[in-house]
């Protein structure tokens, strides 16, 4: 037997209705907020992610699936969607035609992280981006879109954390202050963070190693270093969120794992999954579009992990269960079988219909109908055939009666009997 790759997973049929439910809710919600769907390749040139996400992030340094294409560039499976969407936006000059552009995508991402509950190497994201509008109201609306989506899907027990990570100028000052604070404890940091103090000291605040958490506990906070325009922007985002009734908690240590963020950053934390496994997160990026060759406009977006959403929904919700309207019992094995003809007629009328053709006993077929949670069983035996009728059995009440063949659909729809 050849097994699945470590950290990858199958979505088996008993989970697929839950997945379809989440994806349908996402499409519906994002379209209500004015986003349109874009589908970009799952593989891009490695340089896109190095430039977009940042060469010194964990994602780019350690977690990408990268290979050298024969006679060509280094390619990588996408670890996230934003860089690919922006590449497409710039490549197709989309912002020229539509200066404020709202796009979403849903699909698989790949990160070579250590697998654990809720952490996979292939996982699916719902990802949305608004480009070309730097108003704080857009930050609030983006956060509202993700919040509404979580609500529509029915995920409970989550909270929203927000922060401002400032602009390049604020971060430059903050970086110096942080390094000054961390340097005396350099030897107490994990080997990765000892390196990060040179390359990307803000990431130390996000390190999960207990010794690094202890060292950075009293570190200076980015919010103390915001310049007046970043502070003003953040104040307006908070006011706007309050005005539309979105509850949030300020988390001045929230830095996020991608380097492109400026100003607003946010995360949705689930009470059971905790901070290291957020349901989703996002933020504003002021220079990413221009760094990728596009116009000098800002954007903001978010990503939600479908596995983590699915984990927090029950399996037995009515919407996630298979729905078979009718099971037609096949009596007799001939090719001109009235049951077989009925199956195709009922499906054409829009009902979901199941049958088994391998010559099972009626008792065995009733068991299959039960397993499929069929609402009705329809039987046409010799007696029914002689009358030109069918027997229908209501699988909930166990009531059984004869009906005209033409009336079956109306019975199922509850219009008669």
Which positions touch ligand HAM (CB under 6 A)? Answer: 80-82, 111, 113, 119-120, 123, 125, 127, 129, 257-258, 278-283, 301-305, 307-308
CB of 268 to ligand HAM, least distance (A): 7
| Rounded to 5°, angle at Cα 236 from 233 and 238 | 110
CB of 317 to ligand HAM, least distance (A): 20
Q: Which residues contact 57 (CB under 8 A, 6 or more apart)?
A: 200, 203, 257, 258, 259
- Euclidean distance between CA atoms 244 and 33, whole angstroms: 15
CB of 256 to ligand HAM, least distance (A): 6
Which position's Cβ is nearest ligand HAM?
305
Cβ proximity to ligand HAM, 127 vs 138, nearer residue: 127
Cβ proximity to ligand HAM, 18 vs 308, nearer residue: 308
Encoding tokens for residue 417? 């009997």
Cβ proximity to ligand HAM, 82 vs 138, nearer residue: 82
CB of 67 to ligand HAM, least distance (A): 20
- Euclidean distance between CA atoms 339 and 286, whole angstroms: 64
Cβ proximity to ligand HAM, 279 vs 378, nearer residue: 279
CB of 285 to ligand HAM, least distance (A): 7
The closest alpha carbon to 123, from 259, 243, 294, 280, belongs to 280
CB of 362 to ligand HAM, least distance (A): 47
- Euclidean distance between CA atoms 133 and 95, whole angstroms: 11
Cβ proximity to ligand HAM, 136 vs 303, nearer residue: 303
Cβ proximity to ligand HAM, 107 vs 332, nearer residue: 107
Cβ proximity to ligand HAM, 167 vs 395, nearer residue: 167
CB of 299 to ligand HAM, least distance (A): 8
Q: Which residues contact 27 (CB under 8 A, 6 or more apart)?
A: 37, 106
Cβ proximity to ligand HAM, 167 vs 355, nearer residue: 167
CB of 339 to ligand HAM, least distance (A): 46
CB of 210 to ligand HAM, least distance (A): 21
- Other C-beta atoms closer than 10 Å to the C-beta of 60 total 21
Cβ proximity to ligand HAM, 78 vs 196, nearer residue: 78
Q: Which residues contact 24 (CB under 8 A, 6 or more apart)?
A: none
């Amino acid at each position: 037997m050849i097994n699945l790759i470590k950290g990858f997973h199958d979505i088996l049929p008993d989970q697929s209705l839950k997945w379809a439910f989440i994806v349908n809710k996402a499409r519906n919600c994002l379209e209500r907020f004015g986003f349109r769907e874009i589908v970009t390749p799952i593989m891009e040139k490695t340089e896109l992610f190095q430039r977009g996400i940042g060469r010194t992030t964990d994602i780019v340094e350690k977690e990408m699936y990268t290979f050298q294409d024969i006679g060509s560039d280094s390619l990588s499976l996408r670890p996230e969607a934003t860089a690919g969407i922006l590449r497409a936006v710039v490549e197709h000059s989309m912002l020229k035609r539509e200066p404020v552009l709202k796009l979403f995508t849903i699909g698989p991402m790949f990160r070579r992280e250590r697998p654990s509950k809720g952490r996979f190497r292939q996982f699916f994201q719902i990802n949305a981006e608004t480009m070309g509008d730097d108003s704080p109201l857009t930050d609030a609306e983006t956060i509202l879109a993700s919040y509404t989506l979580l609500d529509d899907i029915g995920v409970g027990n989550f909270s929203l954390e927000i922060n401002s990570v400032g602009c390049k100028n604020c971060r430059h000052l903050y970086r110096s202050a942080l390094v000054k604070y961390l340097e005396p404890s350099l030897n107490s940091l994990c080997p990765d963070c000892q390196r990060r103090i040179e390359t990307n000291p803000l990431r130390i605040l996000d390190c999960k190693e207990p010794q690094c958490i202890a060292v950075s506990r009293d570190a200076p906070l980015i919010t103390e270093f915001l310049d007046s325009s970043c502070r003003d922007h953040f104040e307006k985002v908070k006011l706007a969120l309050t005005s539309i009734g979105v509850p949030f908690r300020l988390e001045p240590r929230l830095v996020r794992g991608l380097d492109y963020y400026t100003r607003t950053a946010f995360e949705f934390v689930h009470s059971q999954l905790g901070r290291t496994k957020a349901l989703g997160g996002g933020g504003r990026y002021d220079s990413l579009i221009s760094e990728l060759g596009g116009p000098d406009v800002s954007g903001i977006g978010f990503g939600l992990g479908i596995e983590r959403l699915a984990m927090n929904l029950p399996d037995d919700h009515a919407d996630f269960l298979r729905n078979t309207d009718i099971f037609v019992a096949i009596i007799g094995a001939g090719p001109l079988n009235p049951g077989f003809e009925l199956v195709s007629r009922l499906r054409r009328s829009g009902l979901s219909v199941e049958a088994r053709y391998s010559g099972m006993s009626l008792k065995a077929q009733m068991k299959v109908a039960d397993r499929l949670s069929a609402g009705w069983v329809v039987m046409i035996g010799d007696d029914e055939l002689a009358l030109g009728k069918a027997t229908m059995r209501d699988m909930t009440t166990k009531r059984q009666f004869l009906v005209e063949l033409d009336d079956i659909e109306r019975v199922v729809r509850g219009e008669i009997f």
